[in-house]
Amino acid sequence: IPQELEELFQQLNPEQRAAACHDTGPLLIIAGAGTGKTTTLSHRVAYLISQGIDPSRILLLTFSRRAANEMIRRVDNLLRALGAGRERSVAEARSRSIWGGTFHSTAARLLRRYGQAIGLPDDFTIIDRSDSEDLMSSIRSELELGNNGKKFPRKGTLLEIYSRCVNTCSKLEPILEQHYPWCLEHVDDLKKLFQAFVDRKEKQNILDYDDLLIFWHALAADPAGGKLLRGQFEAVLVDEYQDTNVLQSGILKNLSPEGEGLTVVGDDAQSIYSFRAATVRNILDFPQAYPGTTIVTLEENYRSTQPILQATNQIIDEAHERYEKNLWSSKLTGEAPFIVDCSDNNEQADFVVQQVLEHREAGIPLQKQAVLFRASNHSLPLEVELARRNIAYHKYGGLKFIETAHVKDLMAYLRLAENPRDAVSGLRVLTLLPGIGQKKAQQLLNVLAESQFRFDVWSEFKPPAATVEHWPLFVRLMNNLASPQSEKKGISAEVHQVRTFYAPILDQQYDNASARQRDLEQLEQVASRFSSRMSFLEEITLDPPSSTQDVATGSDKADDDFLVLSTIHSSKGLEWDAVYVLQAADGSIPSEMSLESEEEIDEERRLFYVALTRAKNWLYVCFPHRQYFQNRRWNQAHSYAQLTRFVSSKTLSLFQRRPAFNAEDLDTPQEAQIETTAEDIRKNLRNMWTA
Ligand code: ATP
Ligand code: MG
């Protein structure tokens, strides 16, 4: 280790240090939560750079842009020591040139650069999952599939089935048999649909998320293409490897057939994405796939206190699969984790708010606390309460900013200008115009295609009365955006033009129009940071910011304090001083949709485990007893839930059980003390008019 780094590497334990300073042979770090895997990985990147590897020849794959940025920031800090004496910016500039990001965003970058090698045009646009679903469903109705009166899968399920097949490289029938047996009767229709889906994306020059991996994989597997890519990277490092799928491991294999320069890091007990075709086999079979692999395991957990760790260890020990982790912590003292009994969701929300504020009083800012939940709607009562009390929060996972209708609308204009063949966007913007339906819109797109995609052909169209005013403005807008001069004026100027045109439509379409207008203003601000329309579209589609605040600041601002609300899936790899887990009831976690198979229940257990292992010092597992639902006559009804099965009686003994509120805390009105009666009030009301 170079002298300058010595001090910083001192804080690693011997195993971590050996891993960080490992030579270039294949390396697997497989270890439990909070043992410093990610920490070791960033030290390793710094080490490789200190050994003279050019940062631009390092590929660092993580599961989100946030995670990648965080890691690069840490590498920056480490390199600053190396660059000490030199200018600080030198070190920073160096780590900035690392290829860091998700598999998907890296795929997009590489395919633009090298895709021609496999005959892929470099001007493709990318659509997100919900666009793919919409495309699927519009093809389905066009081809009139599944109209025999038998239940046909919905668009979300259609995409899920398709995705599972292509991501696991398997045929349709076995996937249906295993996961969607009720769809087997539609197998022929599904095949027709999926084939048309592939054709349609080609015709429109669009790639969806799955395509990005498939094409990258194909490029890497091609002899010449693989050579190009191998020349690009000297070291490839992957965090959270337990959540990769067959395509992703195949990509790595092609990037580095012998595992030279390859480091993967993960925890099989935290694999939570098998519903997206991830397979824990990747990490377990890594040593077989790469003979000569050095395996590093870590056992000291630096994140959680021993009492919290004891409880989480117990939960994972009771899984069907065996995970031999033996995690221990040297933080011996600390509050045992809580199971908090709440009467219902609302009390749960009140409890969380009160406890969060109490911790804040005691010096733990909101940013160091987080609320985690299985499903996005579990946090709704809490969000209402936070808003009412004016407590700032950011929500991660669930519906993202970019997935809101108005943002998608705005992006669709830009995407159509970028790629006039993109009919998903074309249909979207055309049908936004009053009086234009699917059928008319489709005709207009056909006309566009026949005229070599020149938008002015639309000026000959006689619009229906409802849209007479909008139409010429619309055609002019599209013409402007498509002209070569447009982009030179800057992408935020383009967003501004679209926004101006779209404002009256937005007003008519949505209730809370002014809040939505503000979102779009924010988006205009963000756009100014991008040098091309393509890069703007790509960034926003592939790694969408989670909330408007994120959009406004580009990152989480350090100076204003906010509470994090996150789905468990999006909390992977992160940690907070205090963690609140909502809705720890059977049916919520494990989710009632998972109850039919042992494997799915085990995945839910790992998910629960991921949630609980995010906590450093305080852990509150909330259990609302009463659950409301709408009964068949649409009346509110309620039932009593069971505590999640993942807290066995043995586990329970490692928790402290407490009610959300002690009886004496509650200021329930005592009947006897109340002196005013309803009759008095009425009397006053009557008297008002007689005097
Ligand atoms: P996860 O499985 O949740 O992704 P991880 O194994 O990646 O966890 P890290 O996030 O790298 O763990 O580390 C957990 C915490 O422990 C961090 O706060 C980190 O700074 C700290 N940590 C890691 N290694 C050490 C060490 N050798 N000494 C002190 N603290 C450490
Ligand atoms: Mg980690």
Helix (H) or strand (E) holding 341: strand 338-342
Closest ligand 1 atom to residue 298 Cα is 6
37 is in an annotated binding site: yes
Q: How far is the CA of 303 from the centre of ligand 1 (A)?
A: 6
Nearest of 322, 340, 360, 265 to residue 563 by alpha carbon: 360
Ligand nearest to the Cα of 33, by number: 1
303, 316, 607, best to mutate for ligand 1 pocket (most atoms within 8 Å of CB):
303
Ligand nearest to the CA of 32: 1
Determine which residue's CA is closest to atom 19 belonging to ligand 1: 36
Q: How far apart are the C-alpha atoms of 33 and 327, rounded to whole Å?
A: 8
Ligand positioned closest to the Cα atom of 577: 1
Closest residue by Cα to atom 21, ligand 1, is 302
Q: Tell me which DSSP letter residue 575 carries.
A: -
Cα→Cα distances 402→412, 535, 542, 564, Å = 11, 15, 10, 19
pTM: predicted TM-score of the whole model, two decimal places: 0.84
To 10 degrees, what angle do helices 380-388 and 345-361 make? 50
Task: For residue 126, count other CB atoms closer than 10 A to its CB.
Answer: 25
Distance of CA 207 to the CA centre of its chain: 19
Mean pLDDT along residues 361-384:
91
The reply, when asked if residue 46 is annotated as ligand binding, is no
Among 3-17, 242-256, 346-360, 574-588, the minimum mean pLDDT is found in 3-17
Please say whether the beta carbons of 338 and 620 come within 8 A. Answer: yes
> Structure tokens of 491?
């992408």
The strands making up 576-581's β-sheet, listed across from edge to edge, are 393-396, 563-567, 369-373, 576-581, 615-624, 338-342, 656-659
Mean confidence (pLDDT) of the chain = 88
Give, for ligand 1, the residue of 63, 243, 302, 309 to mutate: max count of ligand atoms closer than 8 Å to Cβ.
302
Report residue 20 as tokens.
Answer: 């960080």
What's the 3-state SS for 404-453? Answer: CHHHHHHHHHHHHHHCCCCHHHHHHHHHHCCCCCHHHHHHHHHHHHHCCC
Question: 149 labelled as ligand-binding?
Answer: no
Q: Which atom of ligand 1 is nearest to the CA of 32?
A: 2
Residues with a CB atom less than 6 Å from ligand 1 = 11-13, 16, 33-39, 267, 270, 302-303, 573, 575
Confidence (pLDDT) at 377: 79
Using the mean position of ligand 1's atoms as its centre, give its distance from the Cα of residue 36 in Å: 3
Sequence-ordered list of residues with C-beta below 8 angstroms from that of 107, at least 6 positions apart, any chain: 212, 213, 215, 216
Is 38 annotated as belonging to a binding site? yes
Ligand 1 atom having least distance to the Cα of 613: 3
Give residue 9 CA to ligand 1 midpoint distance, Å. Answer: 14
CA 406 to chain CA mean position, Å: 20
With vertex at residue 364, the alpha carbon angle to CA 362 and CA 369, rounded to the nearest 5 degrees, is 130
34 is in an annotated binding site: yes
pLDDT greater than 80 at residue 86? no
Report how far ligand 2's centroid is from the alpha carbon of 299 (Å): 14
Ligand 1, residue 41: give the atom nearest the CA: 11
Whether the Cβ atoms of residue 550 and residue 401 lie closer than 8 Å to each other: yes
> Among all ligands shown, which has an atom nearest to the Cα of 15?
1
253 within 8 A of 238, measured Cβ to Cβ: no
Q: Which listed ligand is nearest to 302 at the C-alpha? A: 1
> Residues 6 or more apart from 288 whose CB is under 8 A from it?
none
Task: Label each residue of 40-97 as H, E or C.
Answer: HHHHHHHHHHHCCCCHHHEEEECCCHHHHHHHHHHHHHHHHHHCECECHHHHHHHHHC
- The 3-state DSSP composition of the chain as helix, strand, coil percent (nearest 5) reads 55, 10, 30
pLDDT tens-digit series, residues 450-507: 999 999 999 999 999 999 999 999 999 999 999 988 888 889 899 999 999 999 999 8
> Which of the listed ranges 202-216, 372-386, 529-543 does the model predict with the highest average pLDDT?
202-216
Judge whether 17 and 9 are in contact, CB under 8 Å: yes
How close is the Cα of 630 to the center of ligand 1, in Å?
44
Cα 403 to averaged position of ligand 1 atoms, centre (Å): 33
Query: What percent of the chain shows pLDDT beyond 90?
Result: 60
Q: How far apart are CA 205 and CA 202, in angstroms?
A: 5
Say whether 292 counts as a known binding-site residue: no
Nearest to 65 by CA among 573, 412, 436, 524: 573
* Ligand 1 atom at minimal distance to the Cα of residue 573: 4
pLDDT at 557: 46
Closest ligand to Cα 77: 1
Q: For the chain, first and last CA: distance in Å? A: 93
**16, 30, 39: which to mutate for ligand 1, most atoms within 8 A of CB?**
39
HSE-up of 257 (CA within 13 Å, CB side)? 9
| pLDDT at residue 667 tops 60 | no
- Most confident stretch, 119-133, 498-512, 599-613: 599-613
- pLDDT digits over 17-42, tens only? 999 999 999 999 999 999 999 999 99
Contacts (Cβ under 8 Å, ≥6 apart) of 241: 264, 265, 266, 282, 283, 286
Burial class (CB in 10 A: 0-12, 13-18, 19+), 185: middle
pLDDT of the residue at 666: 61
State the pLDDT at residue 554.
41
31 is in an annotated binding site: yes
Give residue 41 CA to ligand 2 midpoint distance, Å: 9
On whether 32 is known to bind a ligand per the annotation, the reply is yes
Q: Which amino acid is at 480?
A: N
For residue 10, report the phi and psi dihedrals to the nearest 5 degrees: -55, -35
* Residue 410 CB-density burial (10 A; 0-12 exposed, 13-18 middle, 19+ buried): buried
Residue nearest to atom 8 of ligand 1 (CA): 34
Q: How far is the CA of 551 from the centre of ligand 1 (A)?
A: 28
Separation of 37 CA from ligand 2 center, angstroms? 5
From the CA of 89, how far away is ligand 2's center (Å)?
27
Cα separation, 91 vs 78, in Å, equals: 9
> pLDDT class for 387, splitting at 50, 70, 90?
confident
Distance 265 CA to ligand 2 centre (A): 8
What radius of gyration, in Å, describes the C-alpha atoms of the chain? 28
Residues with CB under 5 A from ligand 2 (ion): 37-38, 573
Determine which of 245-249, 487-491, 582-586 has the lowest per-residue pLDDT on average.
487-491
What is d(CA 552, CA 687) in angstroms, rounded to the nearest whole number? 56
- Lowest mean pLDDT segment, chosen from 26-30, 68-72, 185-189, 258-262: 68-72
Q: What is the ipTM of this complex?
A: 0.99
Which stretches does DSSP call E strand in 269-311?
Answer: 294-296
Q: Whose CA is nearest to atom 18 of ligand 1?
A: 303
- The residue length of the chain stands at 691
Question: 552 pLDDT band (50/70/90 cuts)?
Answer: very low
* Residue 170 burial class via C-beta count within 10 angstroms: exposed 0-12, middle 13-18, buried 19 and up: middle
**Residue owning the nearest CA to atom 4 of ligand 1:** 573
Contact of 598 with 315, CB cutoff 8 Å: no
Residue 377 DSSP symbol: G
In the prediction, which pLDDT does 580 show? 98
* Phi and psi at residue 295, to the nearest 5°: -105, 125
Q: Which atom of ligand 1 is nearest to the CA of 31?
A: 6
Classify residue 229 as left (phi > 0), alpha (psi -120 to 50) or beta. alpha
pLDDT in tens, 308-367: 999 999 999 999 888 878 899 999 999 999 999 999 988 999 999 999 999 999 999 999
